[in-house]
Amino acid sequence: MGIIELKEITKTYYMGDSEIHALSEINLNIEKNDFIAIMGPSGSGKSTIMNSIGCLDTPSKGKIILDNKNISSLSESELAIIRGKKIGFIFQQFNLIPTLTALENIMLPMIFQKIPEKKRKERAKELLKLVELENRMNHKPKELSGGQQQRVAIARALANNPEIILADEPTGNLDSKTSNIIIDFLKKLNKEGKTIILVTHNIETARQAKKIFYLKDGKIALEEKNENNN
């Protein structure tokens, strides 16, 4: 059994009299320490499957099993607790708070886990060193390059030491050189034991993962294993 299992997941949205099947009977098993990429055209269900895995949304039908626990019918407050402890998020738009420094942005997720301020600051400084930005700790996002902002976002995702990193188009706004740095960092985290789930439009980025799942019309149309990265 994997760290995350999607069992017969269906997600239906209603718009007026119309039904939109964003996901249709998806089965997906993600093993601990996996590095998977999810690809597909716009409207294929990538965002919906990401939201399901990330405990941001609940399915219309089916089960989501996280660490042997069915989380598909939990309340929003229960899902928020799981998200805070188990999952770190990295987004295409970085989603840093513009009025906070790099250090403060990284400390933020730890507040919700009631970690004392001294420990929050120590952990944030460690993470800034990890992403080689310790000399930028007092800079606000607008004073950082895109690549630096994404490295701060990665450090923030690691703040509560989650088992799973969910990266939604993490290189979408970056040039190719900076993109390679970010992907190399995700691969390093994977080698250190993190489970990485990457959503991307870019086939070259996807091929850095161990497995690629191609979505089409809310279904997994193809699964590809990358033997070079196993």
Can you give the pLDDT at residue 105? 97
Does residue 198 contact residue 36 with C-beta atoms inside 8 Å? yes
Name the pTM for this structure: 0.89
Question: pLDDT digits over 103-131, tens only?
Answer: 999 999 999 889 999 999 999 999 999 99
Distance of CA 153 to the CA centre of its chain: 11
Can you give the pLDDT at residue 1? 55
User: Which residue type sits at 129?
Assistant: K
- In the chain, count of helices (H) and strands (E)? 7, 10
Average pLDDT (1-12) is 89
Domains and CATH numbers, the chain: 30-58+74-229 (3.40.50.300)
- CA dist 133 and 17 (Å) reads 51
Radius of gyration of the chain (CA): 18
Average pLDDT (30-53) is 90
Which H helix or E strand runs over 61? strand 61-66
Question: pLDDT digits over 76-87, tens only?
Answer: 888 888 888 899
Which ranges in 60-202 belong to alpha helices (H)? 76-86, 102-112, 117-130, 146-157, 176-191
